[in-house]
């Protein structure tokens, strides 16, 4: 898989990436993403743990959507 220009890695034991989002537009901050087992097997159960912070809504219209 080719690397996307400006993509950022997600902290934790995973190979996840997310796109470059301007800091003012971010809705949450990912502190950790754990995936077990890794790599994810086909047709099997896997577990994820996502830890982070959800920022207060800055746009009043966003809360009504």
- pLDDT, position 52: 93
- pLDDT, position 3: 60
- Tell me the average confidence (pLDDT) per consecutive run of 10 residues in the chain, 65 residues long: 70 80 82 88 91 80 59
Tokens of 52: 């982070």
Cβ 35 vs Cβ 13: under 8 Å: yes
Can you give the pTM of this predicted structure?
0.61
């Amino acid at each position: 898989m080719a690397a996307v220009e400006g993509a950022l890695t997600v902290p934790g034991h995973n190979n996840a990436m997310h796109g470059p989002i301007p800091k003012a537009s971010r809705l949450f901050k990912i502190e950790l993403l754990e995936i077990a087992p890794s790599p994810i097997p086909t047709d099997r159960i896997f577990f994820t743990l996502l830890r982070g912070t959800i920022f207060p809504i800055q746009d009043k219209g966003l809360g009504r959507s």
